[in-house]
Structure 1
Amino acid sequence: MWTEVNNSLHRKFEFKDFSEAFAFMTRVAMIAEKMDHHPRWTNVSNGHQMFLQTVACKNSIQFINRVFAHSNQ
């Protein structure tokens, strides 16, 4: 579930292993590139955290962030 944290949408993901986590990041990277809207994220082993916000709009949550989050349910 996505939550609002410090003017961004945030979600934690857990995967079976690093390979599965990296495959997810690759899929998200392709979506991000098409939308020209890139997340801030961290990955450690099989765990992954993603933060979505719009830097050009004073680091706020914009409609595109919600669309991006919805595409990564």
Structure 2
Amino acid sequence: MWTEKDNHLIQHFTFKDFKQAFAFMTEVAIVAEEINHHPWWSNSYNKVEIRLTTHSAGHTVTNRDYVLAQRISALAQRYEA
């Protein structure tokens, strides 16, 4: 579940293994390029943390972040994350 904290939408995902986590990140990258809105993220083995904020709106959470979060959540469901 996405949480809003300190002007970011934040979500943590856990996958079966590193390969699955990396595949998920690749799919997120494709969507981010498609909508021209890019996340901050961190990956360690099977864990991925994503933070969304809109830099052009003064580092606040905007509708663009919610749209990307929804797309990311849909991708994560495919991995049962």
Partner of 1:26: 26
Partner of 2:38: 38
Matched, 1:53 2:53: yes
**Deviation digits for residues 6-64 of structure 1, max 9, x if unmatched?**
10100000000000000000000000000100000000000000000001111000101
Structure 2: stretches of 5+ with no match in the other structure = 74-81
TM-score by length of 1: 0.98
Identity fraction in percent: 42
Superposed CA RMSD in Å reads 0.5
CA distance in 1, matches of 2:67, 2:38: 13
TM-score by length of 2: 0.88
